[in-house]
Chain A
Amino acid sequence: GAVVSQHPSWVICKSGTSVKIECRSLDFQATTMFWYRQFPKQSLMLMATSNEGSKATYEQGVEKDKFLINHASLTLSTLTVTSAHPEDSSFYICSARDPRGGHNQPQHFGDGTRLSIL
């Protein structure tokens, strides 16, 4: 079945560092990928929709200069948290929908990245 791989799983770094998270669709091509943020024991908050070959669509309240998204190929989207600070510490999850089979296919999720900023 469709698989989404996310890397790295854990990141611990100092305040002010920029961190890049990769999301890959392993056996399908994804023109659209989604980036979510999840706080402990809470639901997923959609941050942005990543569109292959064009600019990402950010949700209201999400700083596009803070969370840079690049979707340069049909199998890879990256999220870069620029100049990260402790308040950016969170669990970040990506997802993609396999377009094969039509519009009723579920989104498939990566395993998430736990980001801790010291």
Chain B
Amino acid sequence: AQSVAQPEDQVNVAEGNPLTVKCTYSVSGNPYLFWYVQYPNRGLQFLLKYITGDNLVKGSYGFEAEFNKSQTSFHLKKPSALVSDSALYFCAVRDPIGGNNRLAFGKGNQVVVIP
């Protein structure tokens, strides 16, 4: 079964500094990887995905993520964080072969951008 680990509970970063949110995954085949963001009392908004191709994926709001197969990681990055980036971030993986369309989510990371 597929699974995702987000090792940190909270990430604090000063506004304007680079932001990194870590994610590692486990899946039997080639993974489909996703990042979502959640604001308070809202559903999840899709940020970006990796399916195949270039390891560096660019998404919404200036976010990008790098797929690293050898390290089974898919860390989310933003070169310069904004206060409005403060939210809960979820990494998710889907096994396209054996995962029956289900997404496995990490526990989430609270990002706090300090003005």
Contact = CB atoms under 8 A, between A and B. Distances in A.
Interface residues of A, number: 25
A109 interface: yes
A54 interface: no
B71 to A, nearest CB: 22
B101 A97 contact: yes
A11 to B, nearest CB: 13
B90 A49 contact: no
Interface residues of B, number: 23
Interface stretch (B17-25, B45-53, B75-83): B45-53
B67 interface: no
B105 A43 contact: yes
A112 B43 contact: yes
* 8 residue pairs, one from A and one from B, having the closest CB atoms: A109-B43, A104-B51, A109-B44, A111-B43, A43-B107, A106-B46, A112-B43, A43-B105
